[in-house]
Structure 1
């Protein structure tokens, strides 16, 4: 079955995780594609339509503009054709939509510049829904829902209720709200409706912690300031927590498709955000440590000490034979990334023992030593043993992402290049933490030897050559052959210590080549690859966080000029996306297109894309 994932690039979003609303530019939606209001992984409203009726006819409304504030509210400005004998449209309707973790509120103001009062009727029509996100993402329809006197739901623990003070309410297949308003001369009238949402089965709730403020950047350009403010606002809207425990707050991965806990995404987002705030990093580490693997469970890909991939309320059926349990551990990189982030926050001043993360550190290191290399060839690798899990378990987790230079898809088990870098950095970070807090210099030295040996093996097995010269392969395949695609993965090795200085210089030179750097960011795969296409998910597109992590590695390794060039590219891209950097966008050259071509199903906001704004600011000297 060919899936028909809806496009969202031209929709407007209002968000406060786990609640999100996707609409057209005028604020209405009709259930097309991903349009609608959501609570967690359920669409609870598939239709919303606003009408304004005059004494003898429906008043024509035209979209004027849409704006989203740093408080997360979306304001839709509509022009109403109210006239006094001239051609001027003298009416306006302003819809201010806000989301909270428990629902949506819309405040509607109708105004007129007329010399006499006028009576109007404001009508808001709502269409209830309960379609799971999995069906919507596949382009499939759910069953119709009829509202009752107490709202609607999909099981005993869910309830959606409409409140509309002062309105006449009709309930059925549609919920219709009617307000009879009198607009005074040169005046206005206001109405408000709310949608209260609850789902007892959601694994997480909206964060109750205070929002993180945007950093002061007095020397930054106006474009960079707008990017960082938008990024921080989006990250605040993406925060979730364990129920009743604000100390375990983390960033949900992204809207609309991934508004839940993803281990890798939460860790990378918190790490990129660390120059602004340490509390999100600590909350992320605690959340994941509490769910750290305890047993061997092939169905869940769980192993002792392993950090999980994702958590949802229900089984996730991706419609093509991939079926993931509610807690799924199929990720090869989250565990070393967890150790790396722990090392970062300890360097930032967090006490390891007081944080309660020392024992989880030991578990994560044990997984790295005992379980990350199942065939004993000396490299961390993955393979789906369940038959229904993810085929690829690095961040490029689509089934066709790991390719040879001729475009051929590699067969698993797969040992990704960047994962060896993460593992090397994690071993060194673990050694430092054990030496400082565990009092065992012998164990620390064993981990440093482990890292040194990994670097030697990598040098022997991963480096390949093409007409441009040497470079690290994207991976080793099931036959232990280097997978020769020239890919962005090599950029994640920078700053991990896996490469020596000369090797890092070779990698940076290759990344900055026109085949890899689009002018906006680093392409996931070089234009010379036979399978390259600028809007192929992991084989030619530009992922915002991918470029940001490469920038971070360049800064760590002393390539400041190259890091700044990439940061300028992302900033230019941000200008084309109204300063909300998307999850990914097209790999077309900046010399060919502006704004960048959107990847139409991309999440926006996406946590690690939003956090990339902080990395851009660092590279440009503003932080």
Structure 2
């Protein structure tokens, strides 16, 4: 896998190689995307026919990338006609600075370190195939619209596409200085051998040979440059997708002003939320990276802030991913949860529709806006094929009310809460056995509708696929926590009878769950039940979510913890998704033995809940140690579950096509911090409870501007010795009660 440079701001994102290029023969889905369409699929730079030599590349701040290159050994024309001179390597600095703001803005800067002038030809190749994101990922598509020839009007280069949905999509390339020549490029065949099939569960993926070839439109912008000795020279261009202007606005503002404006926006992101610090600078860098990555994945919608799932393949609204991210980040900014709740409530299911698996009260799984979705080639209008997004929505509602206790938000969302509860009882549990289940109704839908949604993540003991409907172990935990959490909110609002009914339902579920899902011989919970209520007996990380939700009976906690922390589950780099003793175990798989940081964050929170502090800290430390091996301390969506080898100083192995950054991965660091603090919030009582237990490499944690009921409180928790901690209130103007308790 080639290293990638990822940039994003709001609805536009770009993925390129680290040298800044998007080659036309790319097989990794590189390009500039907007609203599920690839608006630029080719971006290649040559200098006098040569590819610059990459020295360093950075996109640490997500909206901006900096690529430093130099010339190779070159033969270039001399001032005397017909003669050439040898240009020594690394005598010309070639620097690409780029940022995203309603499109891509890039400045290519040159600096000549030779004592003589150098004449070079800069060739920038642009191209667009306007492929839908699903098309790029490898979903079968028999027919596409028409890609038009590129047009140059003397000011702008225009690529366009007449879609089958009747829409014209176009991309403008505008330059601060007119190129010396624009040359159309013909003969490029970008075949569908470029498809990814990133998830193992892609329905209806087909072989590349069976799919039609894509012929992207392309053109070269040529600049003849004379570089004076020790004098800078730059070429600036802008790539503007349809709907974001015609490029003239970009020309009206300087490149430096735009970059500065985005820098200020990032600084404001930190200032408007809880400021978090510890005495460990490396852990601070880990936290800061997570917060930066959350910023890149945040959309500013009319309903408020909303975290999309991940780049590049899932930079769209998700139910499960966005909810879990919002739960993880309450300590940082509860307004993320508010925006997520409002958006998902706005798009809550209204009718029964098997095509997109919509049902009244159900919370969406994924929403897309590309051509294939608009044409109903894909069901993501939105698509509702997830069994867990609805109870997770209720969990987030209850948790947000604990943090904010907003009467207006309560009244606003109460109808959606009632509809979601009704969905759980009436549609989620069609056979009335007390367990929530899923059954995929659409051949293009997701077959496994929990968070482990790949095709082979759920297997019977003999390796066969289970018969649907399926009752997943963690989904029962979410339902339990949802009903308990909503009941607590209702009690605070005076709805005692309704709250009591939800509590009775939750306790009945807990009793039946601990009887039916328990495997006495394995001393663990089954991964799921199939259509015939047979246990799917794989030993997985999923039951850790039930610890987090409080569903595990007291007499089973110790056995579950022992199983989760055994060597077959613990890789040294984190908790595996599947036991290494399982027949289907593969550390390089998507869900059958890999390590997912978000999964580990929920597991650590679950272990903390049942007072297994050491085990929780062990998981946190494993993931933190892994993060230090990745660029910028950025954890990917997942990585391989190979056992850590301390003899040979092994590093965690990357999974080739994981999303990075990923929202619930970024959120993991913040939930780890909340777990270490043992932080519980009750805004109704204006109370914060702390049960701290720190890893040995952290002695104090400081929170400034923690939002409790929209009122700030600032505090520091310090370790006095191994088991004793000290609380210092730094600012508490509204007299919120802060209680430090033993672990």
Q: TM (normalized to structure 1)?
A: 0.89
| RMSD of equivalent CA atoms | 2.7
1:589 maps to 643
Query: SS of the counterpart of 1:166?
Result: coil
2:605 and 2:672 in contact (8 A); partners too: no
2:182 maps to 170
| 1:328-372 deviations in Å (ceiling 9; x for gaps) | 111111111011111111111241434521221121122222221
Match of 2:299 among 220, 224, 240: 240
Map 1:563-602 onto structure 2 (within 5 A). Answer: 563-578=616-631, 579-591=633-645, 594-602=650-658
1:581 and 1:610 in contact (8 A); partners too: yes
2:149 maps to 146
Matched, 1:536 2:589: yes
Matched, 1:428 2:484: yes
Aligned-residue offset at 1:181: 3.5
Aligned-residue offset at 1:137: 1.1
1:49 maps to 44
2:578 and 2:592 in contact (8 A); partners too: yes
2:45 and 2:51 in contact (8 A); partners too: no
Matched, 1:280 2:336: yes
Task: Provide closer, same or farther for how the CA distance between residues 275 and 21 of structure 1 changes in structure 2, counting only shifts above 3 A.
Answer: same
Map 1:31-70 onto structure 2 (within 5 A). Answer: 31=24, 32-33=26-27, 34-53=29-48, 58=49, 61-70=52-61
| 1:269-303 deviations in Å (ceiling 9; x for gaps) | 11111111111110000000001111222222112
Unmatched 5+ stretches in structure 1: 1-6, 201-206
Distance 1:113 1:131 in 2: 42
| 1:528-585 deviations in Å (ceiling 9; x for gaps) | 1111111221111111211111112222332222111111111122122211211111
Task: Provide closer, same or farther for how the CA distance between residues 233 and 315 of structure 1 changes in structure 2, counting only shifts above 3 A.
Answer: same
Matched, 1:614 2:670: yes
1:198 maps to 242
Matched, 1:522 2:580: no
Matched, 1:290 2:301: no
Distance 1:158 1:259 in 2: 19
Unmatched 5+ stretches in structure 2: 75-84, 185-216, 245-261, 677-693, 695-700, 704-743
1:3 maps to none
Name which of structure 1's ranges 266-275 and 499-508 shifts more when overlaid on structure 2. 499-508
Matched, 1:364 2:371: no
2:713 maps to none
Aligned-residue offset at 1:470: 0.3
Task: Provide closer, same or farther for how the CA distance between residues 220 and 409 of structure 1 changes in structure 2, counting only shifts above 3 A.
Answer: farther
2:204 maps to none
1:105 maps to 105
Query: SS of the counterpart of 2:159?
Result: coil
Aligned-residue offset at 1:387: 4.5
Aligned-residue offset at 1:60: 6.2
Aligned-residue offset at 1:493: 0.5
Aligned-residue offset at 1:406: 4.6
Matched, 1:492 2:545: yes
1:159 maps to 170
Distance 1:79 1:501 in 2: 64
Name which of structure 1's ranges 110-119 and 519-528 shifts more when overlaid on structure 2. 110-119
Map 1:254-265 onto structure 2 (within 5 A). Answer: 254-265=310-321
Query: SS of the counterpart of 1:504?
Result: helix
Name which of structure 1's ranges 75-84 and 163-172 shifts more when overlaid on structure 2. 75-84
Name which of structure 1's ranges 581-590 and 77-86 shifts more when overlaid on structure 2. 77-86
Distance 1:28 1:604 in 2: 18
Match of 1:456 among 487, 492, 511: 511
Bigger Rg, structure 1 or 2:
2
Name which of structure 1's ranges 259-268 and 323-332 shifts more when overlaid on structure 2. 323-332
Matched, 1:397 2:453: yes
Distance 2:626 2:4 in 1: 18
Distance 1:541 1:145 in 2: 44
Name which of structure 1's ranges 156-165 and 417-426 shifts more when overlaid on structure 2. 156-165
Query: SS of the counterpart of 1:190?
Result: strand
Distance 1:408 1:127 in 2: 45
Aligned-residue offset at 1:82: 7.5
Distance 2:425 2:485 in 1: 14
Matched, 1:80 2:71: yes
2:548 and 2:602 in contact (8 A); partners too: no
1:229 maps to 288
Q: TM (normalized to structure 2)?
A: 0.75
Task: Provide closer, same or farther for how the CA distance between residues 181 and 275 of structure 1 changes in structure 2, counting only shifts above 3 A.
Answer: same
Task: Provide closer, same or farther for how the CA distance between residues 350 and 212 of structure 1 changes in structure 2, counting only shifts above 3 A.
Answer: farther
Matched, 1:126 2:126: yes
Match of 2:327 among 264, 271, 283: 271
Name which of structure 1's ranges 522-531 and 400-409 shifts more when overlaid on structure 2. 400-409
| 1:593-616 deviations in Å (ceiling 9; x for gaps) | 733121111111111111112223
Task: Provide closer, same or farther for how the CA distance between residues 66 and 594 of structure 1 changes in structure 2, counting only shifts above 3 A.
Answer: farther
2:715 maps to none
Task: Provide closer, same or farther for how the CA distance between residues 135 and 451 of structure 1 changes in structure 2, counting only shifts above 3 A.
Answer: same
1:72 and 1:234 in contact (8 A); partners too: no
Task: Provide closer, same or farther for how the CA distance between residues 12 and 594 of structure 1 changes in structure 2, counting only shifts above 3 A.
Answer: farther
2:21 maps to 28
1:203 maps to none
Task: Provide closer, same or farther for how the CA distance between residues 209 and 417 of structure 1 changes in structure 2, counting only shifts above 3 A.
Answer: farther
Matched, 1:10 2:3: yes
Aligned-residue offset at 1:498: 1.1
Name which of structure 1's ranges 72-81 and 257-266 shifts more when overlaid on structure 2. 72-81
Distance 1:217 1:290 in 2: 32
Aligned-residue offset at 1:92: 1.1
Aligned-residue offset at 1:408: 3.6
